Structure 1
Amino acid sequence: MALLALTGASGRIATALRPRLRATGHRLVLCDAPGVTVAEPDPTFERTVACDVRDVEGQAEAFAGADLVVHLAAYADERSWPDILSVNIDGTRAVCEAARLAGVGRLLLASSVHAAGYVPVGSPLATDGMPLPAPDTYYGVSKAALEALGALYAGRFGMTVVSARIMNFDDSPGGPRSLQAWLSPDDMARLVLATLTTDATGHHVVWGVSRNTRRSVDLRPGLAVGFDPQDDAEAYACGVQERDPSLPPKLLGGAFADPGYRLGVPHGGTQPG
């Protein structure tokens, strides 16, 4: 079985992935910042490493022997430019460089739909292939930079890198937008395993989305690396629409692309819903 290194190991996505990856028999190196607690590591399959995401040498040591690095560590919404630059952009560069130094040939980088947040829902840009970056915030810019770094390390060092534009990751769809954009935990695990086993080489940008009936983006980029999602938000549609009958947004970035969403301010100056 393989050895997988996860950054941001205390976060929502990593926490959901861990039992699913352990169930496949894979061993995990769980990396997060000093002072951050990673809940209940299983000593049979997991070991934890306290290391700042910007620490190249420390992460290279943690990644030694890994078959895949799954990079999830980042601020997960809007922040000031210095914070975004330090953690999301410099941090991603450090992870890529640490993986190279450790001899890891495969990377899965957590990009975001917000790297293309100004792409209109239903436009050919979204439904046919993969659009160029059109970031909606500083956060979105950081994910566009992440994709560029993935392309650099794939091209210069011969690594296989998948940058996944994650849409709405959650246990179940929470609103009208997520009926189009939901990424289930099981499908996120399928994406990790596809990156681990793909025969594709080079850099690939894919949508991190489930096989939703109402999805607004193209599955073919993911299928090209073996990512074949199975879950469908439609199973939850009646409950979602009863709770919130509003229409989904017209841009992929949703509220992040609204004119009133302020750059550099957590949640755009609003409280998370």
Structure 2
Amino acid sequence: MTETPAYETLKLAIVGGSGRVGTALRKKLVPLVHSIVVLGRSRPEDLAANETFVEADMSEVDTMRAAFEGVDGVIHMAGIPKEAPLEDIVQVNVIGTNNVYEAARLAGVPRVILGSSNHAIGYYPTDTVVSGTSQMRPDGLYGLSKCWTELVAGLYYDKYGVRSLIIRIGNAGKQPKTVRSLEVWVSPADLCQLTLIGLTHPDVDATTVFGVSAGGGSWWDNSVATKLGYVPSDVIADHAAPELSVEDESEAATFYQGGRFAAAGHVGGLRKR
């Protein structure tokens, strides 16, 4: 970008703003933007002066639509963040995300930041570099639901012109605590940077990038994010716990990018395609 966007004028809504990732992101955004509408099932205890809370879940399209009126962008960080029964995954992550996009469309919101996941491509081997346009290879039902959400983002751009930055988040925990997290962790500051790029950059359409801080991401081609101006401010190793654990020592967990998600229930040998 040739000039610094006026972030201080942005009026935003964040779905899942009471959750762990949403809360960490809010704290970075609050001093930079005009206002944030926080949507969730529980009211955060730490609302800032420029934040308001709307009690809603993703089944309530009308409530979300009303909350989205007049905002410049919606940040979608809600959903089940792990493996769960198919019925729950479909109801929350699949139908819920569709409802978020439909509410945004009805309210005339021009942009959505979609919190996707590296588990949408978790069945790629760790020796394979994956880009945002590589074929999806989910490593479980959770990853499969993220594939759906990414396709929803594409549909709503093609059909309705709603722009999305799809952020395949690696690991957004408080700090890297596992060996695998040294490859995939993203700090709140870097996630915030990607979010602001997605909300303002003119070249975003239905654009997929990887959410990872400096020192990681060797499995991923994140050149699209770089082209959009992303320069990670945090180095993963600088934030790592003193002692790192190993999530899963199985052959599948080591071979596939999805780690323990790919290894869970994996049958037979290692398959590379």
Shorter-chain TM-score: what band?
0.7 to 0.9
- Counterparts of residues 22-101 of structure 1 (less than 5 Å): 22-33=30-41, 36-42=42-48, 44-101=49-106
Partner-residue secondary structure (3-state), 2:47: coil
Per the TM alignment, residue 173 of structure 1 is displaced from its structure 2 partner at its CA by: 1.0
C-alpha distance after superposition, 1:70-108 (max 9, x if no partner): 001101111111111111000000000100111110011
Instruction: Give the equivalent residue in structure 1 for 2:212.
Output: 209
C-alpha distance after superposition, 1:20-55 (max 9, x if no partner): 11121431000013xx2322212x210000112122
Task: Output the CA distance in 2 between the equivalents of 1:68 and 1:25.
Answer: 11
Deviates more, 1:194-203 or 1:100-109: 194-203
Maintained 8 Å contact 2:132/2:209 = no
Task: Give 1:159's match in structure 2, choosing from 140, 152, 162.
Answer: 162
Per the TM alignment, residue 156 of structure 1 is displaced from its structure 2 partner at its CA by: 0.8
Residue-pair matches, total: 256
Maintained 8 Å contact 1:112/1:166 = yes
The letter of the residue matching 2:104 is A
Partner-residue secondary structure (3-state), 2:36: strand
Task: Give 1:249's match in structure 2, choosing from 231, 254, 259.
Answer: 254
Residues 217 and 147 of structure 1: CA distance in aligned 2, closer, same or farther (over 3 Å): same
Instruction: Give the equivalent residue in structure 2 for 1:270.
Output: none
Instruction: Give the equivalent residue in structure 2 for 1:12.
Output: 20
The letter of the residue matching 1:170 is G
Maintained 8 Å contact 1:115/1:133 = yes
Instruction: Give the equivalent residue in structure 2 for 1:122.
Output: 127
Q: Is 1:104 aligned to 2:119, yes or no?
A: no
The letter of the residue matching 1:177 is R
Partner-residue secondary structure (3-state), 1:205: strand
Deviates more, 1:138-147 or 1:200-209: 200-209
C-alpha distance after superposition, 1:100-135 (max 9, x if no partner): 1111100111111111110111313x2x55422101
Residues 216 and 21 of structure 1: CA distance in aligned 2, closer, same or farther (over 3 Å): same
Which has the larger helix fraction? 1
Instruction: Give the equivalent residue in structure 2 for 1:144.
Output: 147
Maintained 8 Å contact 1:161/1:202 = yes
Deviates more, 1:47-56 or 1:212-221: 212-221
Partner-residue secondary structure (3-state), 2:62: helix
Partner-residue secondary structure (3-state), 1:30: strand
Partner-residue secondary structure (3-state), 2:17: coil
Segments of structure 2 that go 5 or more residues without pairing to the other structure are 1-8, 268-273
Maintained 8 Å contact 2:165/2:204 = no
Per the TM alignment, residue 233 of structure 1 is displaced from its structure 2 partner at its CA by: 1.2
> TM-score scaled to structure 2, two decimals?
0.87
Task: Output the CA distance in 1 between the equivalents of 2:82 and 2:145.
Answer: 10
> TM-score scaled to structure 1, two decimals?
0.87
Task: Output the CA distance in 2 between the equivalents of 1:196 and 1:245.
Answer: 34
Maintained 8 Å contact 1:214/1:234 = no
Task: Output the CA distance in 2 between the equivalents of 1:214 and 1:238.
Answer: 19
Per the TM alignment, residue 259 of structure 1 is displaced from its structure 2 partner at its CA by: 4.5
Instruction: Give the equivalent residue in structure 2 for 1:269.
Output: none
After superposition, the CA RMSD in angstroms is: 2.2
Task: Output the CA distance in 2 between the equivalents of 1:156 and 1:246.
Answer: 42
Task: Output the CA distance in 2 between the equivalents of 1:96 and 1:163.
Answer: 13
